[in-house]
Structure 1
Amino acid sequence: MNTLLPRHRKSAGFAPYGCMELAFLSYIVMAILNYALGNWIFATAMLAPLVVLFIWTQLIVWRDRCKIGDQIRVSLGPHSGKEGVIIGANETGTRFTVQLSSSEHPDPVDFSGYQIVKAKPMMPEQR
C-alpha cells in the first residue's frame, strides 16, 4: 500500500471556511461594539456591506430554488443525466415528483432536492 507524504495532502476546505466565519463574526462584534460606544455612523458603514451581501445571497437562493413546472436535470442516482419536469413537491420543498421526458420511465419518479438541478430553459432555435 502506498501512502502519500503529508506535503501532498490538501485540506478539505473546512479550515479556510471556519476562518472566514470567525472573521465575519469578529467584524460583526466590532460593529456592535461601535454601536454600543456611540459611533453609530461608523458601525452602520461597517454593517451595510454585510446586509447587502446577505440580501444578495438570499435572492440567489430564492431564484435557484426548484418549484412545480421547472425543467430539471437529474445529477445523482440511477437516473443521472435524464431531464424532466417537476409535477409535485412536498410542503418543505425537499422532495420532488418528476415526470422524466424519456420514454423508458412513463411513471413519475420521486427525487430529493439534492439529486436534481434546475435546467436553463432553451430557446426553440437552440434545440
Structure 2
Amino acid sequence: MKKLTPLLPRHRKAAGFAPSGLIEMLLLAYIVAAVLNLALGNWIFATAMMAPLAGLFFWIQYTDRRGRCRIGDQVRLSMGSHAGKEGVIIGANETGTRFTVQMSSSDHPDPLDFSGYQLTKMKPVALPSS
C-alpha cells in the first residue's frame, strides 16, 4: 500500500484566511479601544484614534467605486471558457453583479452574460493622434 503524501511541497503552505483574519482582529481591537476611551470620557484621545480609521474607510470606499465596472468599460475575462478574451460592457443588472459583454472577437457576434467576478476592468487606451 502506498503512503499518502501531501500535494504541496514541504516549503509551501496552503493559502488561507489567517493573515486577513489577524488583521481584522487587530482592527477590531483598535476600534474597541477607541470606543472604550470615548465611553470613559477621553474624547480627545478617542477622536485621535478614530480619525485614521475614518480616513481609511473613505479611501477604501473611493477606490472601490472607482474600480467597479460600468456600461461602456473595456474588460478582459479572467475566468471560464472565454478567459483572456476582451470585450465591452453593454448592459448590467440593477445590483451590478451580472454584465452583458459584447466580445471583440468575431467568434462571438452575440453578447454574452458574465458575473462581475469574472471580469477585469482594463485601462482605456488613448487613440494615436495623426
**TM-score for both structures, normalised by structure 1:** 0.91
Corresponding residue for 1:73?
A: 76
5+ residue gaps in structure 2? none
Provide Cα deviations, 1:83-126, integer angstroms capped at 9, x if missing partner. Answer: 11111101111000000111111100000001111111111239
Query: What amino acid is the match of 1:46?
Result: M
Counterpart in 2 of 1:27?
30
Residue 61 (structure 1) aligns with: 64
79, 83, 103: which one pairs with 1:100? 103
| Whole-angstrom CA distance in 2 between matches of 1:29 and 1:80 | 44
Query: Separation in 1 of the partners of 2:119 and 2:24?
Result: 28
Higher share of residues assigned helix: 1
Q: Does 1:16 find its partner at 2:28?
A: no
Find the aligned partners of 2:20 and 2:8 in 1 and give their Cα distance: 24
TM-superposed CA distance for 1:11, in Å, is: 4.8
Identity of aligned residues (%): 67
Q: Which runs of 4+ in 1 moved over 3 A?
A: 1-7
Q: Which consecutive residues of structure 1, in runs of 5 or more, have no partner in the other structure?
A: none
SS of the residue 1:8 aligns to: coil
Aligned residues, how many?
126
d(CA) in 2 for partners of 1:97, 1:12: 32
Q: Distance between the aligned counterparts of 2:99 and 2:9, measured in 1?
A: 43
Displacement of 1:42? 0.5
Which residue among 72, 76, 86 is the counterpart of 2:89?
A: 86
Name the residue aligned to 2:42. 39
- The 1-side partners of 2:75 and 2:20 are apart by 30
Cα distance per residue 1:72-91 (max 9 Å; x no partner): 11111111111111111011
Q: Give me the CA root mean square deviation.
A: 2.0
